[in-house]
Amino acid sequence: MRYKLLLATNNEAKVREYRGLLQNLPVELVTSAELGMTTIVNEVGESLEENARLKAMALATKSQLVALADDSGLEVDALGGEPGRLSARYAGEKASDRDRINYLLARLKGVPWQRRSARFRCVIAIAIPDGKVGLCSGECRGFITFEPRGEQGFGYDPIFYLPELDKTMAELPLEIKNQVSHRGQAAGKVRQVLKRLGYDRTF
């Protein structure tokens, strides 16, 4: 039996990643835009976990569907963990990916390679209309480059370097990125969360 799973994002790049990451689950992925929904959730939580939960619960309640939301952040050690949960708004509400990258690189000006360690974190929340919510997470460690490299991906991908692959996230084909990324690791746990929420009958 297939059922609709609502992705709480209209970021086309993120939707594309999730369609690949969850393709083996017996679900039909739909987005708010496809359902004509215009629900806006203010991300007022103090953590990735809180923001993911807020978004998932709001969409599940509004749509009466199972909803999946994530909140992701880049945590740079030399900046005390910034930008973290504010990653998408680090250079201002209207900033582009390029603006955010340039701002982060400016903040790291003069910081040597060995001190540019960072990690991507992703927290996924899955909510069902009766109010139950399950969480899962993933993280990926790397370094911040001195300049952008690669044309794939989105967000901070062009400056997040993976030593084991000698490439930035933006230099990886999507199928490889999905195997190693923070979002890929978190998505690999979605099946278990759905089971805990009572959807084991579908697996």
pLDDT tens digits, 58-101: 999 999 999 999 999 999 999 999 999 999 899 998 899 999 99
Asked if residue 144 lies in contact with residue 160, where contact means CB atoms within 8 angstroms, the answer is: yes
Residue 114 tokens read as 């060995």
Which residue carries 């009766």 as its tokens? 130
- What whole-number distance in Å separates Cα of residue 151 and Cα of residue 16? 16
The CATH number for 96's domain is 3.90.950.10
Encode pLDDT of 169-186 as tens digits: 999 999 999 999 999 999
Catalytic one of 71, 77, 97, 200: 71
- Domain containing residue 110: 3-202
pLDDT score, position 200: 59
- Phi and psi (nearest 5°) for 124? -105, 130
Domain count, the chain: 1
pLDDT score recorded for residue 38: 77
pLDDT in tens, 11-55: 888 899 999 999 989 889 999 889 888 777 777 888 999 999 999
* Neighbour count for residue 128 (Cβ, 10 Å): 20
Contact 145, 153 (CB under 8 A): no
The answer to whether the beta carbons of residues 58 and 114 sit under 8 Å apart is no
How far apart (Å, rounded) are the C-alpha atoms in residues 173 and 176? Answer: 5
Indicate the pLDDT class of residue 203, thresholds 50, 70 and 90: very low
Say whether 200 is catalytic.
no
| pLDDT number for residue 3 | 82
Neighbouring C-beta atoms of residue 46, cutoff 10 Å: 8
